[in-house]
Structure 1
C-alpha cells in the first residue's frame, strides 16, 4: 500500500475509530479515555472522552495529564541506550561496578542488559509492595538499594523472564551514577526537550496538580461506585513507573521508535531493543513477549512494540509499528481500565480498512473495479432488541461491526452491492449472509429503520425512543 493511500484511508476512518473507542469506554463504565492515533507525523485521532474526575464532574480534555506508569521503562531504556551509544555505559557492565553500594551482594553481578530485559531475576516490588495501594510511600533511593542487597535475587540471571520494578529503579540509580545528574535532569535533556514535549515528565509535579486526570478505583460488582485515588510521588521508582504524559504526546514520543527516525536512538540501537529477548510462556501458553526494555506484540499481521502501564487509578497502553509508523495510545483513568483492549481494537479496525483499501485498489488496477459504496448507504449505529451494530465504510467497503465486542476484526462482516442492491456478503455463516439490506427513509431521505436480514433495526436514538415510549 502506498503511503498516500494509507494516510487517506486513516483520515477517512478516523471518526469511526474515535466513535468505536468512545462506545467501548462507555460500555465498560470507564470514567474517561484519551486516545491518539498517528502515523509518520500526522495525527488522525486526538480524542478526549468522558470525565477527568467523577467527584467534581470535570470533563476530560486532551490536555489532562495521565500517569503512564510502566511506559516509564521505555523512556529509561532510551536513556540507557543513549549512554551506550556515547560509550559511557556498556550493556554487559555488571551493576556492582556501577553502584558500589551493592557491595558483594548477589545482585552485584547482574548486567545492565539483564535488567533491561527483565532477565536479572530481581524481585518485582520488594517483599512489601503495598505502596501500590498507598499503604506506604514508594521506595526512596536507599530503600531500593537495601531491597536489592538483601532480598533482590529470586532467580538466577536468565533463568526466567521476571518482570521487575525494582530492577528498573536500579537502572535509574545507574543513570544518575554514570551521568552525575538526577534522573529527571537526564530525561529532560535527552527526551523531553528534544521532542518539544510540554505535557510529559518523569514524576508527579505538584505545581501542575490541577492538570492531572484523577485516578479512580475499579469495580468488583458492576454497580459499584468509583472513588477518586490521589496521585503520589513514586520517588526512586520513577525510572520504572513515575512518568506522566498525554495520549497525543505519547504518539509523538512513540514515533521516535520507528526505524529510520534517529531523533533519540540510532536504528542499530532500536533493532537491539526491539529484538525478541524473551517469550513469556507458562505451561505452553504464551503470555507475552519482551525485547531489551520494550514490550513486543502483534495485532493481526502487524508486529508492534510499546508498553502498557498500571498506576493506582490509571491503566494505559501504547503500541508502535516500527516499520509502518502507526502509533496508537490509549489512556484510561480507572484501575480496571481497558486501555489495551481499546488500543488493540483500534488497530484491528485500521487493519480491516487498509486491507479493504488494498482490495479496492487492486480490483481497479485489474480492470474489474468493485462497486462503490452507495452514497445513500445506511451508515451509522443501529439497535434492536437483540443488540447494537455499526455500519461503517472502512477502506471503500462497508462493514458491520458489533461495537460491544472487544475484537472488531472477529465480528466484522461485509456489505456488498449485488445486482444493484446492497446485501450482506455471500459467504458461509450463521447470520443472514447473502440476504439484502432494506432501508426505510423519511421525507428528507434520512434512514429511520433498516432490515439487515430478518429483523428491523433503528438508529440508536430512535430505538431508545421506541423502548422508552412503550
Structure 2
C-alpha cells in the first residue's frame, strides 16, 4: 500500500473506516495528472474463509459498471457510428414497437426510456437475447414519474443490444478491446473464469436489503432482494457480463480508467476531450421518484448533484455502485479515484465520503 507525499491523510481515513465504521475489506486508489498517487487495500476479501484482501483482489462494482458502458457508447459516437439524439429504433428496429419509436439514445443513457423493469419478469436473467427481446416488445411505463426512474439493470441490456447492433461485439468485449487492453486496465465487464479466484466475496447487510421511501412506482430489482448475495457471488454472475451491474475491477484499475478520461495515461487516451465533454453534458436533472434523492445525468455518467456523492468538486462525474462503491473524476483537479468494498450497506454510508473528503484535502494542500 502506498500514497504519494501530501496524500497521507487518505491512508489515515482508509484505516479509520476499518477501525470506526466496520469495514470488512476494501481498496481505494487515485490518479493525478495520469500518475498513481494513492493505492490502498486491506481487510478481508472473504469473511467466511478469512482470505485477505491483497493487491490482486478484484471486486464487483454493481452500477459502477455503467461508467464503462457509457464510455463504449461514447466511442461509437466519436467514430461517427452513433448519434445520441437518434432514436434507438434507427439501429435496433424491433425496439420501435409499442410506441417506443421516438425514444432516443440520449434518453436511454440518462434513464428516461420508461423501461426501468421487465414486464415479463426475470426468468431469463442470464440470457441477454431474451431480455433484449422482452424490452423491445414492451410498452414504456406511462405512470406519472416514470420518465425519470432509475433503470438499475435494464439500462445495460438496452445499451448492450445497441452496441451489438452497431458493432457486432458485446459491450464486455468492446470494452476489453478498446479500453482495457490499450490502457492496461484491471477492469472487466464479465470476469474471465480463470480470474474468479481473485474476486472478493460480497457481504449483504443484516436484515432486509431493500430499504427506501418506496412509491407505487417501485418494482423490486431482482439483484437487490434478500438472499441475492447468493447470485452476486455465483460463478454464473461473475461470468455473465451484465453491462449495467456486472463489472469487476481493482480500485487501481478503475481510477486509471477515469484518469484516461481526463488526459493521457502512459501516452494513451481513447476518448478525446471533446467526446468526454459530450458525455458530461447534462441531459437530465431532477429527483428520482422512488428514492426522493437528486439525480443529475449526462450520457450515462452521474454528474454533481450537490449531495457530495461524487466528492466536493463541482465538475465531478462518474458513477456510484450499490452498497457503497464510488468511481469518478474531477476534471478541474485532474484527479480520478475509485473506492471498492465488499461490505454492502443500505442507506447513509460515511465510508466513501470520508475517503473523498480526505482526497480533496490532499489535492487542495498540494495546490491542485
TM-score by length of 2: 0.80
* 1:272 has 2:281 as partner: no
Pairing partner for 2:203 from 194, 216, 219: 216
Give, in whole Å, the separation in 1 of the partners of 2:4 and 2:356.
14
Describe the superposition over 1:198-234 as per-residue Cα deviations: whole angstroms up to 9, x where unpaired: x22110322212111111121249xxxxx88623427
Pairing partner for 2:287 from 281, 300, 306: 281
Considering fraction of residues, name the structure with more strand: 1
Give, in whole Å, the separation in 1 of the partners of 2:333 and 2:29.
16
Give, in whole Å, the separation in 2 of the partners of 1:29 and 1:317.
18
Give, in whole Å, the separation in 2 of the partners of 1:121 and 1:113.
13
Give, in whole Å, the separation in 1 of the partners of 2:333 and 2:118.
36
Give, in whole Å, the separation in 1 of the partners of 2:98 and 2:240.
20
Equivalent residue number for residue 291 of structure 1:
298
Pairing partner for 1:230 from 233, 250, 266: 233
Equivalent residue number for residue 318 of structure 2:
306
Change (3 A) 1:106 1:204: farther
Pairing partner for 2:131 from 131, 141, 144: 144
| 1:49-198 equivalence runs, <5 A | 49-102=42-95, 104-124=97-117, 128=121, 138-151=125-138, 153-155=140-142, 160-164=147-151, 165-197=153-185
Equivalent residue number for residue 261 of structure 2:
257
Query: Runs of 5+ in structure 1 lacking a partner?
Result: 1-9, 130-135, 222-226, 359-394, 396-470
Query: Runs of 5+ in structure 2 lacking a partner?
Result: 209-228
Give, in whole Å, the separation in 2 of the partners of 1:152 and 1:205.
35
Give, in whole Å, the separation in 2 of the partners of 1:192 and 1:338.
32
Change (3 A) 1:257 1:158: farther
CA contact (8 A) 2:61 2:245 kept: yes
Describe the superposition over 1:97-124 as per-residue Cα deviations: whole angstroms up to 9, x where unpaired: 3223336233343111111111222224
User: 1:39: Cα distance to partner?
Assistant: 0.8
Max Rg structure: 1
Give, in whole Å, the separation in 1 of the partners of 2:96 and 2:288.
34
Equivalent residue number for residue 345 of structure 1:
354
TM-score by length of 1: 0.64
Give, in whole Å, the separation in 2 of the partners of 1:195 and 1:157.
43
CA contact (8 A) 2:329 2:336 kept: yes
Choose between structure 1 and 2 for higher RCO, CA contacts under 8 A separated by at least 6 residues.
2
Equivalent residue number for residue 30 of structure 1:
23
| 1:33-48 equivalence runs, <5 A | 33-48=26-41
Describe the superposition over 1:277-301 as per-residue Cα deviations: whole angstroms up to 9, x where unpaired: 2223269x75232211101125335
SS in 1 for 2:147: coil
Let me know the Cα RMSD of the aligned residues.
3.2
Describe the superposition over 1:340-399 as per-residue Cα deviations: whole angstroms up to 9, x where unpaired: 7333222323434555666xxxxxxxxxxxxxxxxxxxxxxxxxxxxxxxxxxxx9xxxx
CA contact (8 A) 1:332 1:338 kept: no
CA contact (8 A) 1:250 1:318 kept: yes
User: 1:65: Cα distance to partner?
Assistant: 0.8
Give, in whole Å, the separation in 1 of the partners of 2:157 and 2:198.
26
Equivalent residue number for residue 333 of structure 1:
342
SS in 2 for 1:145: helix
